[in-house]
Homo-oligomer: A and B are copies of this chain.
Amino acid sequence: VKKVYLGIDMGGTRIKMALLNKNAEILRTKDIDAQAGLSMEQRLEDLVDDINGLVGSDCKLKGIGIAFPGIIDFESKKILSKYVKYPNAHKTDIPGWAEKHWRIPLLIENDARAALLGEWQHGSGKGCNNILMVTLGTGMGSAVLLNGQLLRGRNYLAGNLGGHMSIDFQGEICNCGNRGCVETLASTWALEENLKKIPNYKSSILYKEETLSFKSVFTCASNGDNIAEKLKLQSLEAWSSGIINLLHAYDPEKLILGGGILESKEEIIPFIRKRVWEYSWLPDSGTEIVAAEQTKYAGLQGMCYLLNIEIFNN
């Protein structure tokens, strides 16, 4: 019987699960839809059968690590932010769920922090102990490693709010209550609203699409769609500006860019490098800017690392 960890990455649209050994090698995986409106408690109960099926009879589950898109109290294993996809998540006893079903320990951490740890241990952050990670997906996530330690802060939000950095202090109110957040200006969730702010947007092919994505924004832009080009440029400018602020804040050795939007990394990374070169105080080659390598399971591998060092002393 193999001793395994279970990693769960609760994304905005998909829930990714995997069994990993203590070396963070992925043994089996299962992806399911993240149904909207389900409470956190219900969501977790619904996963039990999937998890038992994944573990099967040849593995023994030793611990669970959840990567979650929100502000997480790592010590008491609570979800602190209220604006998350799963209602009542902040009131749910998450370690109690693991205890009840399998009598095993559980850890939960912010998903950008988990992805950072995964990239650090197994991806493009190997050998580098001072890293800023930024993920561009449904929103914009971020996390910081300083001297090989996660920066968490007094209220567990240090480093995680890159997407809610205000870069337009007299701009629109974001869904978080702050003004002019990077996410409000450039993210998948705000894409439709931002499209509709561009004059003549109805002339764009994007207007006909059922679900807008940055992939189609980049494609339409390169096909000569002017509206898409404007949307692309505004998004790249907003990300760059937020990222320069973050680079100034932490002055890391390396910036790792991850998340689904990095499918278009050939356009994104050179743009950000150029902006950093033009606008930031960083000296030439002051910071390495690279794409994430372990895009799909970095968060799960990061949770595996945390289980190893926090609980099992592996």
Contacts and interface: CB of A to CB of B under 8 A. Distances in A.
A210 to B, nearest CB: 30
Contact of A280 (B81, B167, B169, B178): B178
Contacts of A151: 146, 250
A81 B286 CA distance: 14
Can you tell how many copies of this chain the complex includes? 2
A179 interface: yes
Interface in A236-252: 237-238, 241-242, 244-246, 248-252
A156 interface: yes
A57 interface: no
Interface residues of A, number: 49
Given A167-B168, A241-B169, A153 B250 contact: yes
A155 B279 contact: no
Nearest to A182: B169
Given A161-B249, A178-B279, A250-B249, A237 B169 contact: yes
B246 A156 contact: no
A158 B238 contact: no
A154 B245 contact: no
A159 B154 CA distance: 17
Interface string A244-288: 111011111100000000000000000000000011111100110
Given A167-B166, A167-B168, A237-B170, A250 B178 contact: no
A168 B278 CA distance: 17
B252 A157 contact: no
Contacts of A152: 251
Contact of A251 (B155, B170, B185, B237): B155
Contacts of A1: none
Contacts of A166: 167, 241, 244-245, 279
A245 B245 contact: yes
Nearest to A149: B147
Given A167-B169, A169-B185, A176-B281, 16 more contacts: A71-B281, A130-B153, A130-B154, A146-B151, A153-B251, A157-B251, A158-B248, A158-B249, A161-B281, A165-B245, A165-B249, A166-B241, A166-B244, A166-B279, A167-B167, A169-B238
10 contacts: A130-B154, A146-B146, A153-B250, A155-B287, A161-B281, A164-B281, A167-B180, A168-B168, A168-B169, A178-B280
Rank and list the top 9 A-B pairs by shortest CB-CB distance, nearest first: A153-B251, A158-B251, A169-B241, A161-B248, A167-B169, A249-B249, A155-B286, A178-B279, A154-B253
